[in-house]
Amino acid sequence: FYGAKVLHQRTMIPAQTRRIPVVTRNSLRPEAEGTVVDARFTPGSHPVKAVSAVRAQALLSVEGKGMAGVPGVSARVFTALAARQISVTMISQASSESSICLALPADQAEDAALALREAFRPELSRGEVEEVGLRPGVGLVAVVGLGMAHTRGVAARAMGACADAGVNILAIAQGSSELNITLALDEADLERGVRALHEGFGLHRIDPGVDDPDGLNLVLLGVGAIGQDLLRLLVQRKEHVRARFGLTPRVVALVDRSGYLLDPAGLSGEALGEALEAKRTRRPLSELRGGVQGSARAALQAALEYRLTRPILVDVSDADGADVLFEEALARGCDVVTANKKPLAGPRAAFEALRAAAGRAGRVLKAEATVGAGLPVVDTLEILLGTGDTVRAVQGCLSGTLGFVMSALEAGRPLSEAVAEAKAKGYTEPDPVADLSGADVARKAVILARWSGLAGPDDEPAVQLEGLVDASWAGLPWPELETRLKTLDAEFEARRGAAEAAGEVWRYVAHVAPGEIRVGPARVAKDSPAGRLAGTENLVVFHSDRYNTIPLVVTGPGAGVEVTAMGVLGDILRVAAERRR
């Protein structure tokens, strides 16, 4: 291939025969690690190993309808060129046999054209050969790699990368060995084409140094309760995932508010154990061995400097501004799995930008845990829409935390006591007011409205929200919040008694329909589906064209760290199944 002259093909023969690694170094930067050329080969893992180019070329073509089916035309072309000591750098012939295209050094192009016009003078005079054409100002770029053989899509990626960069391809050549694809480009486009191909095949990223054809590489944002449980699940289910999907999940980066841990080969069990212990004792990751101070964006960029297979950004934090990070991850080839509602329930423009970014990049954005924890709510919605159904309304009880509180109130327990127990069991958000004010359910309702299409980009209604407590209580220390909750105990007991007298119970209900998103407490019949809910159970009811007379109902546990972590893992495995195809 074209490129570094120190790697002449003949000098490589003894090294290749004896499997001797060859190291190239930069004499102007002796401290740089350089490049190793060796015999390592992993099928299916980054099939293209190099993109190289040669300038100052020209395209020479012999065209004519009288060439088809005539033996010896190619031989005459090469005999004429060989007689003048002209070497060809690329050959391409159409299957119709009506044209042969050659690339050769520009300083030999005129001589070559004269030689061929002389060789085909009789055919040119009879019109059997219509033209010996010459196009100067051409460059050649070669995409090479042992893994290209029998790997589907390499040529498509090469053509797509050039098209996306606005680079036109003049001619193409590929041998039957499939180890090289050579493209002829305008020399003015050569640098742009090389950069596009280099990036398109991930060659701008560092080789992590491990053979990883079956890797599922995770960048995990958030090491709170859900993140810690997800880490445990990944360890416990690793062999199951490998057996079921043929993939090995690895956490390559772990991120908290202080910084991150990074290992492109996958953080070791020891490193993950130290991280879990640190979070249990409230130590930041940046203080651990190998810890780096930095933002989530810095962690993502550091991870994506490496050539990772099937990278997934997993957000189990409650951080603001994650939508910008998601867009960057999608654009750089990451799928995204999130339990963080804020990026999807924030400004509508940000939500639409995320969906568009995923579409442009051919990546997926999964968000099951944002609505129903581990329940298949978003998945069910996608199945309905993907099979041609139209959703007309969605309603239900979307908070396991508030479900637990309402069940406790129904049993006659004070509000303050019910919330304290929910907090102790890990059902609430870090700030319980996010649940009690209805803000968390409101976000879920907005996500459902957007995902289902019930709220369009230009007609999304404002949320009608009634909470159990005032949103201004957010951020209060728990002792002060508990004191304020006790002042509401009598009021909620009175509400409970009035509902019971009418054969009803209180539930916290979300209702989503065209032009309406309503969230708040409501009295429902005791024997209704919502009235029969107990503890942290959630209920989601889909009304659609298909499920019109009898709606589709999804119900089950909707709160708890383990349930939510399982929902996130489920999304990771859905991505794995898609990427394994």
Where are the extended beta strands (E) located within 514-579? 516-525, 537-544, 552-557
Q: Provide the token pair at 151.
A: 């790997």
Rounded Cα distance, 362 and 136, in Å: 37
Where are the extended beta strands (E) located within 32-98? 35-37, 50-63, 90-93
- Give the CB-side neighbour count of residue 24, counting CA atoms within 13 A: 10
Residue 509 CA, distance from chain mean position:
33
DSSP state of 298: H
Which listed residue (65, 444, 486, 526) is catalytic? Answer: 444
Rounded Cα distance, 193 and 158, in Å: 10
Do 383 and 352 meet the contact criterion of CB atoms below 8 Å apart? no
Do 366 and 561 meet the contact criterion of CB atoms below 8 Å apart? no
Rounded Cα distance, 284 and 278, in Å: 7
What's the Rg (C-alpha) of the chain? 32
- The backbone region for 41, taken as left when phi is positive above 0, alpha when psi lies in -120 to 50, beta otherwise, is beta
Do 261 and 267 meet the contact criterion of CB atoms below 8 Å apart? yes
CB atoms within 10 A of CB 93: 17
Rounded Cα distance, 534 and 529, in Å: 11
Where are the extended beta strands (E) located within 83-235? 90-93, 99-105, 131-144, 169-174, 180-186, 215-221
Where are the extended beta strands (E) located within 50-130? 50-63, 90-93, 99-105
Q: Which residue has the tokens 């993502």?
A: 300
Rounded Cα distance, 138 and 261, in Å: 47
Q: Rounded to whole angstroms, what are the CA distances from 357 to 305, 326, 364, 381?
A: 20, 9, 9, 21
Residue 538 CA, distance from chain mean position:
29
Q: Is 526 a catalytic residue?
A: no
Q: Provide the token pair at 434.
A: 């996010």
Question: What amino acid positions are annotated as catalytic residues?
Answer: 444
